[in-house]
Amino acid sequence: MDTKTLVREDIKLGKKLIQHFDKKGLDIKIAFWYLDEEIDRWYLFISTPDVELEGGRKVYRQILDAMDDINTEIRFDDIKVISYNSSIAQLFRSAISTKKNSIDNIRFQGNAINGFYIKDALIYRVN
């Protein structure tokens, strides 16, 4: 998504996609929209331990299959798969926690975590 504003439709589509991942058995621990302020572009970050267990390529394949199942309008290149142990995943885990397998809409805007400034993010899940 090439816009500075995260629109309501994209928020709903992201939530629908996470729900579908849950139904498909993908172990999504962390999911959030994040504004890359350097290029003013939003990305949907997905974190799962499966990246370490099965590799990022296989997780991307599962995501692509799930996206085909529900025919979502989220572009595949708007999704970034990250390790559960990546620095950004650890950053969010240090500050936020949601109920297991919940899908929330936590807006995290203009805040810093451990000295890292986050211009804008919308968090669905942090477990």
CA distance 112 to 119: 8
pLDDT in tens, 13-72: 999 999 998 998 889 999 999 999 899 899 999 999 999 998 889 999 988 888 888 878
Write the CB contacts of 47 (distance below 8 Å, at least 6 apart in sequence).
Answer: 28, 29, 30, 31, 81, 82, 83, 84, 86, 89
Residue 5 has a pLDDT of 79
pLDDT in tens, 83-100: 999 999 999 999 999 998
